[in-house]
C-alpha cells in the first residue's frame, strides 16, 4: 500500500506498477517485451522504446522518438519527431513536440509542448498548458493549469497565480497553431464569434480554404461561430488565397477569412483574416478580436437573426474575366508561342490557372496538379528537390521557364530556360528590371532587398520605395499608393492595378507577358541583372531582452546616418546590415549585403556577435 497524495509517491506508484512490484492484472496487451497498450497505437519503425512503458488508446509515436521507462503515455498522446520521453507520465490528449525532452516529469491533460522544449527532472505541467518552442522548465518547477510559457523562456520558479494564457492570438500568418492541439473546433468557433462580434450585425464576410481536410474542419467550426453572432457568410468553398481576397473586394464584403495548412508544417493551420479591402487586418483590428475573445464578450443573437450561409456565385469566372482583362499583350504572347512547366504543389491554383493559360495559348506541362485533401505542406528539403527536378525538366522539354506556385497560390519560384534555379532576390531584381523597361514608375521592395534594385530602376527613370518587411505593410502600401509592382524578395509579387494582394498566378502570366513584349528569354534578363550578395542569419534573443538590444542599436551613431524604415539598418561604403526583430519568435533576423557572398556572410556574423554582446552586457 502507498499513499499517492504527493507527486513523488504518485510517480513512484506508477513505476512500481509498470515494474511488476504490485500484484495487479497486466495493464493491457503486451505489444513487445516491456511495452503494454490499452488499444490501437501507431509507432514509427525508427522509434526506440525501452520498457517498462504503458501506451493508451490512439497514442502516436513519430520517427526517431526515444521512450525510456518507466513511462506512461495516456490515450491519444502524440510524440513528434526526435523527441525523448524518459521516466515520465503524460496524460491524455497531450502533444510532445519535435525534439522535445521530458526527464522525470508529469504532464497534465490537453497540454501542448512545442518543438525543442526541455522539462527537467521533477517538473509538473498542469492541464491545458502550452509551453512554447525552445522553452526550458527547470528541475522541480510546477506549472499550474491553464498557463502559457513563451517561446524561448527559461522558467526557474513555479507559476501558480494568474491566468497566464495566450497574450495574443495573432502572429505574422494570422492565428496559427497545431491542428487539434492549439486549433480545436471549440477554439475556432469561439474565435469566429469574437471576430464577427467586431462587425455590424447583418454584415457579410467571405470564407474559403485550401484543399486539406484539416482546413475544412476548422473552416466549419469558424463558420458556426461567425453566424452565431449574426454575420452572414458568402462561402467561396475551396479557392487559392488571391481569389479569396479578390472576391472579398469584388463583393464589397465587410471582411474575409481563409483557412490553410501552413506552408512550413503540415501539422499546423493558419487562419487569416481580411479587412473590407481584403488586406490582412491591422494590429488595431486584431486587438479588438483578441479583447472580445479573452473577455468572452461574444455577441449572441436571437434565433431569427442567426447569420445565413450561402455559396457565392461566379467565384472563378469573375476572377478570370478581370485577370484576362489585365493582359494587354496577348498578341505578343501568341506570337512567342511560350511553353512553360508549372508545379502546382497539389494546391487549388491548379483548379483555376490552367484555363487562364489555355485562354492565352500558353503551352503548359503540369506537375503536381492533382488537388488532394490528404496532401499538406512539404519540407524545405522536399521543396529543394522539386526545384532541382524542375531544373532538369525545363531544358529537357525545351520550355521557356519553370515555375513552382505555392499551395496558397501567392508565391512563385522559378527556373530559367537554361535550367538554372533563380535565387529569390535575384528574381526580384530581374522582375523589377522587366517591369520598368516597359513603363518607368515607382517600385516598392522591402528593406532587406538588394541595393542593385535602386540602380536598375534609376537607369530607366523610375524610383524605388522601401517598405517594411511584413506582408500587411506591403499590401497596405499597394492599396494606398498603387506602385507599378511590389515584391517581397521571397517569391511574392503584388500588381496593384489588378488587385493589391500577392498573386502567384498573375505573376506567372505577367512574367510571360513581359518576356514576350521585350522578346527576351528569362536567362537573358538574369544574366543582365547584377548578381545579388545578401546573407541572412538568425540570432536567438529572449523576449525581455529584445527591447534593450534594439535601444542600444538605435543609439549607435551609424543609425542616425541612415534613413530607418523597419528595424535598424547601418550603411557604409556600399555595404549594409539590417537587424530586424522577429514579430513571432524570440530572435533577430540579420541581413547583410556586400560585394561578394563571403563578405556578406562575414558582415552578418560580425553583427550577430555584436548582438550577443549587447544582450549579455
Q: Cβ atoms within 10 A of the Cβ of 122, count?
A: 18
187 plus 239 within the same structural domain: yes
Number of structural domains found in the chain: 4
What are the grid coordinates assigned to 461, written together?
527613370
Structure confidence at residue 171 (pLDDT): 87
C-alpha cell of residue 479: 492599396
Q: Give a yes or no: residue 605 inside a domain.
A: yes
> Distance of CA 371 to CAs 122, 235, 386, 407, Å?
47, 19, 17, 10
Q: Kindly state whether residues 548 and 451 are assigned to the same domain.
A: no
Q: Same structural domain for residues 306 and 323?
A: no
> And the C-alpha cell for 259?
483557412
Instruction: Give the pLDDT band of residue 380 (cuts 50, 70, 90).
Output: confident
pLDDT band (50, 70, 90) for residue 264: confident
Q: What is the pLDDT of residue 148?
A: 85
Q: What is the CATH number of the domain that holds 119?
A: 2.160.10.10
140 in a domain, yes or no? yes
Domain-located, residue 464: yes
315 is written with which cell numbers?
467565384
What's the rounded Cα separation, in Å, for the pair 536 and 534?
7
**pLDDT one-digit tens code per residue, 33-84:** 999 998 999 999 999 999 899 999 999 999 999 999 999 999 999 999 999 9
Tell me: do 296 and 235 sit in the same domain.
Answer: yes
Q: 68 and 15, same structural domain?
A: yes
Quickly state the pLDDT bin for 165 (edges 50, 70, 90). Answer: very low
pLDDT, tens only, 398-426: 999 999 999 999 999 999 999 999 999 99
* Mean pLDDT of all residues belonging to the chain: 92
> Is 280 within 8 Å of 425 (Cβ atoms)?
no
pLDDT for the residue 79:
96
Do residues 107 and 89 touch, judged by C-beta distance below 8 A? Answer: yes
For 493, the grid coordinates are 509579387
Query: CATH number, domain at 590?
Result: 3.30.310.50
101-147 pLDDT, tens digit each: 999 999 999 999 999 999 999 999 999 999 988 899 999 999 998 88
Residue 161 has pLDDT above 70, yes or no: no
What is the three-state SS of 456-517? Answer: HHHHCCCEEEEECCCHHHHHHHHHHHCCCEEECCCCEEEECCCEEEECHHHHHHHHHHHHHH
What is the model's pLDDT at position 446? 96
pLDDT of residue 305: 96
- Cα gap 504→507, rounded to integer Å: 5
**DSSP bridge pairs for 259:** 209, 271
Give the whole-angstrom CA distance, residue 128 versus residue 149: 12
* Residue 303, φ and ψ in degrees, nearest 5: -60, -35
CA dist., res. 444 & res. 76, Å (int) = 49
Average pLDDT estimate for 82-93: 96
Say yes or no: 395 and 246 in one domain. Answer: no
Contact between residue 585 and residue 593 where contact means Cβ atoms under 8 Å apart? no
Q: Are residues 557 and 572 in the same domain?
A: yes
406 lies in some domain: yes
What's residue 183's pLDDT? 92
pLDDT of residue 163: 44
Which runs of E-coded beta strand occur in 329-458?
339-343, 363-367, 401-405, 412-415, 442-446
pLDDT (average), residues 596-615: 94
Q: Do 322 and 306 belong together in one domain?
A: no
- Is the model's pLDDT at 350 over the cut of 90? yes
Q: Are residues 288 and 207 in the same domain?
A: yes
pLDDT at residue 274 above 90? yes
Cell numbers for 139: 528541475
Q: How far apart are CA 231 and CA 193, in angstroms?
A: 9
Co-location of 549 and 515 in the same domain: no
Share of the chain above pLDDT 90, in %: 77
Rounded to 5°, angle at Cα 177 from 539 and 487:
60
Of 271, 294, 313, which residue sits at a domain end?
313
Last residue of a domain, one of 281, 296, 313: 313
- Helix, strand, coil percentages, rounded to 5, for the chain: 35, 25, 40
Residues in contact with 574: Cβ distance below 8 Å, sequence separation at least 6, in sequence order: 451, 594, 595
State pLDDT tens for residues 291-338: 999 889 999 999 999 999 999 998 989 999 999 999 999 999 999 999
Specify the pLDDT at position 167. Answer: 59
Residue 319, CA distances (Å) to 209, 243, 323, 501, 617 in order: 16, 7, 6, 13, 55
pLDDT class of 558 with cuts at 50, 70, 90: confident
Q: Which H or E element spans position 523?
A: helix 522-528
Is residue 162 in some structural domain?
Answer: no
Q: Is the pLDDT of residue 389 over 70?
A: yes
Of 85-89, 215-219, 525-529, 582-586, the range with the lowest mean pLDDT is 582-586
Strand partners, 342: 366, 403
In 3D, which of 239, 205, 194 has the Cα closest to residue 310? 205
Task: Note whether 23 and 85 are same-domain residues.
Answer: yes
| Structure confidence at residue 542 (pLDDT) | 83
Residue 224 has a pLDDT of 97
State which residues form the domain around 607: 534-616
Residue 285: band (very low, low, confident or very high) from pLDDT cuts 50, 70, 90: very high
Residue 486 belongs to some domain of the structure = yes
Residue 3 is predicted with a pLDDT of 60
Distance CA(424)–CA(488), nearest Å, equals 9
Select from 271, 258, 260, 251 the least CA-distant residue to 203.
251
Return the minimum-mean-pLDDT range out of 84-93, 161-170, 455-464. 161-170
Taking only the tens place, the pLDDT of each residue in 432-483 is 999 999 888 999 999 999 999 999 999 999 999 999 999 999 999 999 999 9
Cα 508 off chain centre by: 22
pLDDT score, position 5: 66
Q: Are 206 and 199 in contact (CB under 8 A)?
A: no
Quote the DSSP letter at residue 561. Answer: T
Using only C-alpha atoms, what is the Rg of the chain?
27
**Domain membership flag for residue 358:** yes
Same domain, 222 and 363: no
pLDDT > 60? residue 526:
yes
DSSP string, 225-282: HHHHTT-EEEEEEE--HHHHHHHHHHHT-SEEEEEEE-TT-TTEEEEEEE-TTSSBP-
Domain-embedded: residue 344: yes
Confidence at residue 4, expressed as pLDDT on a 0 to 100 scale: 60
CATH assignment of the domain containing 280: 3.40.120.10
End residue of a domain, out of 491, 508, 528: 528
Amino acid at each position: 500500500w502507498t499513499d499517492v497524495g504527493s507527486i513523488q509517491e504518485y510517480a513512484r506508484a506508477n513505476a512500481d506498477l509498470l515494474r511488476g512490484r504490485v500484484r495487479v492484472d497486466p495493464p493491457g496487451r503486451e505489444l513487445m517485451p516491456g511495452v503494454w497498450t490499452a488499444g490501437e497505437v501507431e509507432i514509427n519503425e525508427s522509434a526506440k522504446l525501452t520498457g517498462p512503458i504503458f501506451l493508451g488508446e490512439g497514442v502516436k509515436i513519430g520517427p526517431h522518438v526515444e521512450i525510456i521507462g518507466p513511462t506512461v503515455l495516456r490515450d491519444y498522446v502524440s510524440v513528434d519527431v526526435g523527441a525523448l520521453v524518459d521516466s515520465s507520465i503524460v496524460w491524455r490528449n497531450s502533444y510532445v513536440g519535435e525534439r522535445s525532452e521530458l526527464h522525470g516529469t508529469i504532464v497534465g491533460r490537453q497540454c501542448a509542448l512545442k518543438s525543442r522544449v526541455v522539462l527537467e527532472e521533477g517538473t509538473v505541467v498542469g492541464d491545458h498548458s502550452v509551453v512554447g518552442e525552445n522553452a526550458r522548465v527547470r528541475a522541480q518547477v510546477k506549472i499550474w493549469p491553464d498557463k502559457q510559457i513563451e517561446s524561448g523562456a527559461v522558467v526557474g520558479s513555479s507559476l501558480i497565480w494568474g491566468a497566464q494564457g495566450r497574450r495574443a492570438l495573432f502572429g505574422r500568418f494570422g492565428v496559427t497553431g497545431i491542428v487539434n492541439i492549439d486549433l480545436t473546433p471549440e477554439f475556432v468557433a469561439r474565435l469566429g464569434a469574437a471576430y464577427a462580434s467586431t462587425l455590424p450585425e447583418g454584415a457579410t464576410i467571405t470564407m474559403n480554404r485550401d484543399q486539406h481536410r484539416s482546413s475544412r474542419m476548422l473552416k466549419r467550426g469558424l463558420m458556426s461561430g461567425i453566424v452565431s453572432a449574426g454575420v452572414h457568410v458568402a462561402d467561396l468553398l475551396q479557392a487559392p488565397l488571391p481569389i479569396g481576397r479578390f472576391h472579398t473586394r469584388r463583393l464589397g464584403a465587410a471582411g474575409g477569412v481563409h483557412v490553410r495548412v501552413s506552408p512550413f508544417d503540415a501539422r499546423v493551420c493558419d487562419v487569416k483574416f481580411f479587412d473590407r479591402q481584403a488586406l490582412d487586418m491591422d494590429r488595431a483590428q486584431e486587438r479588438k478580436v483578441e479583447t472580445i475573445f479573452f473577455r468572452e464578450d461574444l455577441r449572441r443573437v436571437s434565433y431569427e437573426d442567426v447569420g445565413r450561409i450561402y455559396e457565392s456565385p461566379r467565384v472563378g469566372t469573375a476572377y478570370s474575366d478581370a485577370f484576362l482583362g489585365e493582359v494587354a499583350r496577348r498578341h505578343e504572347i501568341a506570337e512567342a508561342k511560350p511553353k512553360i512547366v508549372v508545379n502546382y504543389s497539389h494546391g487549388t491554383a491548379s483548379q483555376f490557372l490552367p484555363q487562364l493559360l489555355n485562354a492565352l495559348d500558353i503551352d503548359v506541362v503540369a506537375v503536381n496538379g492533382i488537388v488532394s485533401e490528404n496532401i499538406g505542406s512539404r519540407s524545405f528539403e522536399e521543396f529543394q528537390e522539386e526545384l532541382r527536378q524542375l531544373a532538369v525538366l525545363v531544358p529537357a522539354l525545351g520550355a521557356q521557364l519553370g515555375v513552382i506556385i505555392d499551395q496558397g497560390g501567392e508565391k512563385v519560384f522559378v527556373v530559367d530556360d537554361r535550367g538554372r534555379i533563380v535565387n529569390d532576390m535575384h528574381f526580384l531584381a530581374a522582375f523589377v528590371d522587366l517591369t520598368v523597361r516597359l513603363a518607368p514608375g515607382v517600385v516598392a521592395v522591402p528593406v532587406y532587398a538588394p541595393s542593385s534594385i535602386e540602380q536598375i530602376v534609376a537607369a530607366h527613370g523610375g524610383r524605388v520605395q522601401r517598405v517594411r518587411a511584413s506582408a500587411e505593410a506591403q499590401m497596405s502600401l499597394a492599396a494606398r499608393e498603387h506602385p507599378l509592382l511590389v515584391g517581397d524578395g521571397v517569391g511574392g509579387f503584388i500588381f496593384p492595378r489588378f488587385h493589391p494582394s500577392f498573386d502567384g498566378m498573375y505573376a506567372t502570366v505577367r512574367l510571360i507577358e513581359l518576356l514576350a513584349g521585350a522578346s527576351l528569354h528569362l536567362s537573358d534578363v538574369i544574366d543582365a541583372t547584377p548578381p545579388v550578395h545578401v546573407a541572412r542569419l538568425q540570432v536567438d534573443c529572449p523576449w525581455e531582452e529584445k527591447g534593450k538590444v534594439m535601444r542600444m542599436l538605435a543609439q549607435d551613431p551609424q543609425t542616425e546616418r541612415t534613413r530607418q524604415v523597419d528595424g535598424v539598418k547601418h550603411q557604409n561604403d556600399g555595404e549594409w546590415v539590417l537587424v530586424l526583430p522577429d514579430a513571432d519568435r524570440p530572435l533577430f533576423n540579420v541581413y547583410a549585403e556586400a560585394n561578394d557572398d563571403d563578405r556578406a556572410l562575414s558582415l552578418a556574423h560580425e553583427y550577430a556577435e555584436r548582438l550577443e554582446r549587447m544582450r549579455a552586457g
